Amino acid sequence: MYAEQVHDYLRTFFKETDCELLSDEGYMLSVQLTADMDKRIMNRPFYWQYIEATNSPANPARLNLITDRTKVQNQFIGEIIHFGSGRLHQIFKATKELGSFVQMYQQSNDRKMLTPYFCVNYKVSYYCDQTKEVLYSLGINLINGDIEDHFHEFVSQLDLKGNIPENSFCLQYIIKPARALERLDGMIQNIIQNDDHSWAEEAKKRWAKELEVLDFFYDGVEEKPESYEIEKKGLKERFNPRIKVEIINGGLFYLH
Amino acid sequence: MIIERSSNWREDFIQRFEQDGPWDSWTLYNKSYEIEKMNLIPEFSGLQAPKFLTNIQLLPHQVEAAQTVIEKMNGKAILADEVGLGKTIEAGLIMKEYMIRGIVKKVLILVPASLQNQWVTELNMRFFIPAIAYRKNTPIEHYDVVVMSMDTAKKSPHREKIYEQDYDMIIIDEAHKLKNHKTQIYEFVQSLKKKFCLLLTATPIQNDVFEIFYLVSLLKPGHLGNYESFQASFSTTKNSTDGEKYLKELVNQVMVRNRRQDTGIEWTSRKVETIPIQFTPGEREVYEMIGALKSVSAVFSSSFTMVTLLKEMCSSKEATFLTLNKMIQKCVTNEESEYIEEILAKLMKLEINSKAEKVIEIIEKANDKVIIFTEYRATQAYLQWYLYTKGISSVLFNGKFSKSKRDWVKQLFRQRDQVLIATESGGEGINLQFCHHVINYDLPWNPMKLEQRIGRVHRLGQEEDVHIYNLAIEDTIEQKILDLLGSKIDVFEKVVGDLDDILTRKA
């Protein structure tokens, strides 16, 4: 993410979350946070605890964020923010929290019948001493149960709004969203099961090999010292293959 | 395999569905997905960290080292680059990569006290890793990345506090301090869980081959066998080249070592000169008298004391005087004290220090900034006075200086004084690329200490050739030290790999 991208991102983010932009010079942003945003990105739970406990007037922070430090002479006028910085990371986290659930309708001027879909964006992570992640965006048609991958790529191109357009009407779903969620979870499980898991086998091999080396070190030692068990535990934590499924976001979509 | 499902998204969704909202912003929904996509780790291999590190110009050998450690060594390694190639950067890069990949969260970094702040600053400013320096009573359970001095860590109650934590990664800087398995710090680290572990040292072997055995056994017990099998296979291989080759191969499976010349960076060269010096007849007489001490009194029967005295005599009469003066108090018979007093009298009468004269000669010829390393504080003070009488300004440095004092001295040396006189302990943690001349006024027993000294000057950023002058007085113990240094370098090169010149190359 380059300085400009970071800048655009921040501008969008603060506008979208109703934080007032006090100034915007293209390389520096001055923004008045709302109380909610302050709680999310400023890391000061004690301050807010105090304010709420004493019923004092809150004073949410005002941030001066420098997105391109090459353009400012005095760096002390604000906080330098860039890809990789902690603050941006917090803002990413807030984005995730505030963009989790949607219900969207495809827009049109004509009279249309809208079909309900349910979409979940999954992140599947494979962990051992190495990591790999894959995104799956699964959408299920709530009328006939068809499931498609890359659903997000598809809907993000469409003209969608949070309100149903005039003249259009929605078909009643046949599959309940709760049931649809189970189906998608099952689908993910299926995808994972059919994936190539040689990585896990390789990790187990590395694990076994290192365990063999460790055992050799304590070969012939009758009462193995504590450090042996500690090392063994360390090996397990390092190599034991694990799979994690995380939901990024998802929602209901009514499409032509 | 067990599939972990984290998040309460499911319950939250059903709730919002039943209550028809509230629904989130479509823009943020899209942004959230984009961020995930951007931060995705698409492959097991390769490094993700560099794109986050906008504050560092990573060098190819550093990236390669990090990749080797992660992909080939499974995250446990000795980083043994030559001094000045950026071991800290490599360690930071590896740590960052594991953190981004979500494999490592809690990290403990053990360093010599003098380097604690430097680590904290580097990690925060360059790697954006929020590390803190451990002080007494720091609640370490609240911090993920803690930088602690080794001396503190090994002691109660700190060690117990560390054992209570569950660290994912342990990093140890200047790891050659763990070469002795009988020390408290070694035992402490041995009992620490090392899921991922990096040991940083430019000098994995300083004196003998067992040091590498203990270091590797800390990292990966069994990799070099157990003590008995190692001793049987390698301690007797002094003449077997096959054994050495095999050992080197094993070591290289857990060690990354970049040499200056492999980095692809153009390095200025090292010009190493051994400069033989002749004692004056007066100095020689005192030296011989000291040598004869052991037959005079039992007080001097310890060979350690004798060696110290002889080395000091090769350094300065001031250093010799201090030690002798302490010893005179231990003498029992009159005969003993008289002999020593005779030495002291002769010592005091000496007017010429042949080595110091040579130093003036070298400084005048260099006509540039010069660093002098000595092992003795008394010599350090004497040299400053002596240089002053010759109109040469100098500033003193030693390892006990605080961070701010170090910076101040460095500043003085850069802007005001021609010479910096440092004691041995000043060898670590100060970088002086603007200087090109190093005088080793007296020689340590350990070649790696010489390498550390030279590394203060000959490191990334040095633009000119570096001149090293090793001073040794002929027909004295210094001659023996030179020989011993030569043979230790030999062991190192056979097991670890070639070294840049420290001593003059043997023909």
Lowest mean pLDDT among A225-229, B100-104, B133-137, B402-406: B402-406
Sequence-distant (6+) residues with CB within 8 A of B438 are B370, B371, B373, B453, B454, B456, B457, B466, B467, B468, B469
Query: Which residue of B4, B30, B32 is in closest CB contact with A243?
Result: B4
Nearest to B328 by CA among B320, B338, B318, B319: B338
pLDDT surpassing 50 at residue B296: yes
pLDDT surpassing 90 at residue B446: no
Residues B151 and B219 in one domain: yes
pLDDT tens digits, residue range B315-364? 999 999 998 888 888 777 888 888 888 899 999 999 899 999 999 999 99
Dihedral (CA of B310, B312, B313, B318) sign: negative
N-term to C-term CA, chain A: 35
Mutation for A interface: B2, B25, B74, most A CBs within 10 A: B74
Contacts of A102 in chain B (CB under 8 A): 23-26, 29
Query: Which residue of A16, A123, A161 is in closest CB contact with B28?
Result: A16
Determine the pLDDT at residue B21. Answer: 82
pLDDT surpassing 80 at residue B233: no
Contacts of A243 in chain B (CB under 8 A): 1-4
Residues A135 and A205 in one domain: no
Contacts of A249 in chain B (CB under 8 A): 9, 24, 29, 32-33
Residues B336 and B204 in one domain: no
Section A33-52 average pLDDT: 91
Section B268-294 average pLDDT: 90
3-class DSSP state of A244: strand
Residues A78 and A57 in one domain: yes
Section B216-223 average pLDDT: 89
CA distance B367 to chain A (A): 39
CB atoms under 10 Å from CB of B70, counted, come to 25
CA distance A41 to chain B (A): 16
Residues B358 and B444 in one domain: yes
Residues B338 and B365 in one domain: no
Section B228-253 average pLDDT: 74
Q: Kindly give the interhelix angle for B334-349 and B281-291, rounded to the nearest 10 degrees.
A: 160
- Residue A93 CA to residue A85 CA, distance in Å, equals 13
CA distance B297 to chain A (A): 48
Residues A204 and A231 in one domain: yes
Lowest mean pLDDT among A11-25, B142-156, B251-265: B251-265
Lowest mean pLDDT among A35-44, A103-112, A226-235, B491-500: B491-500
Contact B32 A160 (CB under 8 A): no
Determine the pLDDT at residue A255. Answer: 94
Residues B179 and B290 in one domain: no
User: Six-digit token pair at A214?
Assistant: 């460790």
pLDDT band (50, 70, 90) for residue B236:
low
State which residues form the domain around A72.
3-98
B 139-168 → A contacts, CB under 8 A:
168
Mutation for B interface: A1, A100, A202, most B CBs within 10 A: A100
Residue of chain B with shortest Cα separation from A84 = B52
Contact B74 A247 (CB under 8 A): no
Residue of chain B with shortest Cα separation from A225 = B191
Residue B505 lies in a domain: no
Residue of chain B with shortest Cα separation from A207 = B74
Please indicate if any CB of chain A lies within 8 Å of the CB of B15: no
Query: Which residue of B9, B10, B44 is in closest CB contact with A131?
Result: B44
3-class DSSP state of B394: strand
Contacts of A248 in chain B (CB under 8 A): 32-33, 36
Contact B26 A239 (CB under 8 A): no
Residue B47 lies in a domain: no
Last residue of a domain, one of B302, B330, B349: B349
Contact B191 A227 (CB under 8 A): yes
Determine the pLDDT at residue B507. Answer: 43
B 58-117 → A contacts, CB under 8 A:
70-71, 74-75, 101-103
Residues B87 and B122 in one domain: yes
Contact A102 B23 (CB under 8 A): yes
Determine the pLDDT at residue B241. Answer: 63
- Residue A209 CA to residue A227 CA, distance in Å, equals 18
Residues A92 and A10 in one domain: yes
pLDDT band (50, 70, 90) for residue B428:
low
pLDDT surpassing 60 at residue B72: yes
Nearest to B306 by CA among B296, B316, B320, B294: B294
Contacts of A104 in chain B (CB under 8 A): 26
Lowest mean pLDDT among A187-191, A211-215, B299-303, B443-447: B299-303
Residues B303 and B341 in one domain: yes
Contacts of A238 in chain B (CB under 8 A): 74-75, 195-196
Residue of chain B with shortest Cα separation from A151 = B33
Query: Which residue of B6, B102, B193 is in closest CB contact with A131?
Result: B102
- Residue A92 CA to residue A117 CA, distance in Å, equals 27
Contact A243 B225 (CB under 8 A): no
Residue A141 β-bridge partners: A117
Contact present, B3 and A220 (Cβ < 8 Å): no
Query: Which residue of B14, B37, B51 is in closest CB contact with A178?
Result: B14
Residue B306 lies in a domain: yes
Helices (H), B167-225: 184-190, 210-219
Sequence-distant (6+) residues with CB within 8 A of B255 are B77, B78, B79, B80, B204, B496
Section A119-136 average pLDDT: 94
Q: Which CATH number goes with the domain that contains B382? A: 3.40.50.300
Question: Residue B230: which H helix or E strand, with range?
Answer: helix B227-230
ipTM score assigned to the predicted complex = 0.93
Sequence-distant (6+) residues with CB within 8 A of B93 are B47, B49, B50, B53, B58, B62, B63, B66, B127
pLDDT band (50, 70, 90) for residue A226:
confident
Query: Which residue of B33, B45, B193 is in closest CB contact with A249?
Result: B33
pLDDT tens digits, residue range B372-399? 999 999 999 999 999 999 999 999 998 7
Residues B226 and B174 in one domain: yes
- Highest mean pLDDT: which of A60-64, B178-182, B208-212? A60-64
- Residue B355 CA to residue B473 CA, distance in Å, equals 8
Mutation for B interface: A10, A18, A46, A103, most B CBs within 10 A: A103
More confident residue, B261 or B179: B179
Q: C-alpha dihedral over B477, B482, B487, B493, to 10 degrees?
A: 150
Contact B25 A197 (CB under 8 A): no
Determine the pLDDT at residue B160. Answer: 93
Contact B226 A192 (CB under 8 A): no
Residue of chain B with shortest Cα separation from A238 = B195
Section A190-195 average pLDDT: 94
Residues B298 and B405 in one domain: no
Query: Which residue of A16, A199, A227 is in closest CB contact with B25?
Result: A16
CA distance A96 to chain B (A): 5
CA distance B205 to chain A (A): 21
- Residue B418 CA to residue B130 CA, distance in Å, equals 39
Q: What secondary structure, in 3-state letters, does A59-120 show?
A: CCCEEEEECCHHHCCCHHHCEECCCCCHHHHHHHHHHHHHCCEEEEEECCCCCCEEEEEEEE
pLDDT tens digits, residue range B3-53? 888 778 999 999 999 999 899 999 999 999 999 998 898 888 889 888 888
DSSP label at B234? Answer: I
B 190-219 → A contacts, CB under 8 A:
190-196, 217
Contact A96 B32 (CB under 8 A): yes
Contacts of B56 in chain A (CB under 8 A): none
Contact present, B428 and B156 (Cβ < 8 Å): no
Last residue of a domain, one of B291, B324, B349: B349
Residue B45 lies in a domain: no
Contacts of B27 in chain A (CB under 8 A): 12, 16, 99
b/e code A115-134 from CB counts within 10 Å (16+ = b) = bbbbbbbbbbbbbbbbbbbe
Section B194-219 average pLDDT: 90
Residue of chain B with shortest Cα separation from A96 = B32
CA distance A39 to chain B (A): 18
3-class DSSP state of B46: coil
Contacts of A82 in chain B (CB under 8 A): 54
- Residue B42 CA to residue A135 CA, distance in Å, equals 9
Domains in chain A, number = 3
Query: Which residue of A99, A199, A219 is in closest CB contact with B31?
Result: A99
pLDDT surpassing 90 at residue B189: yes
**Is the bond into B157 cis (omega within 30 degrees of 0)?**
yes
Q: Locate tokens 């380059």: which residue? A: A2
Sequence-distant (6+) residues with CB within 8 A of B494 are B244, B248
Residue B50 lies in a domain: no
pLDDT surpassing 60 at residue B237: no
Contact A9 B31 (CB under 8 A): yes
More confident residue, B5 or A201: A201
Contact B40 A123 (CB under 8 A): yes
CB atoms under 10 Å from CB of B1, counted, come to 11
Q: What secondary structure, in 3-state letters, does B416-449 show?
A: CCCEEEEEHHHHCCCCCCCCCEEEECCCCCCHHH
Determine the pLDDT at residue B332. Answer: 77
Domains in chain B, number = 4
Contact present, A24 and A67 (Cβ < 8 Å): no
Residue B5 lies in a domain: no
* B479 phi/psi in degrees, rounded to 5: -65, -40
N-term to C-term CA, chain B: 63
- Residue B389 CA to residue B459 CA, distance in Å, equals 33
Residues B119 and B212 in one domain: yes
CA distance A196 to chain B (A): 13
- Rg of chain B (C-alpha set): 27
pLDDT tens digits, residue range B99-153? 988 889 999 999 998 889 889 999 988 898 889 999 888 888 888 999 999 999 9
State which residues form the domain around B119.
57-262
DSSP label at A248? Answer: E
pLDDT surpassing 80 at residue B497: no
Residue B110 β-bridge partners: B148, B172
Lowest mean pLDDT among B14-23, B199-208, B395-404, B493-502: B493-502
Residues A157 and A249 in one domain: yes
Residues A155 and A251 in one domain: yes
Residues A129 and A88 in one domain: no
Residues B423 and B479 in one domain: yes
pLDDT tens digits, residue range B448-470? 888 888 888 887 778 889 999 99
Please report the number of interchain residue pairs, chain A to chain B, with beta-carbon separation below 8 angstroms.
Answer: 198
pLDDT surpassing 90 at residue A99: yes
Residues B145 and B19 in one domain: no
Contact B23 A200 (CB under 8 A): no
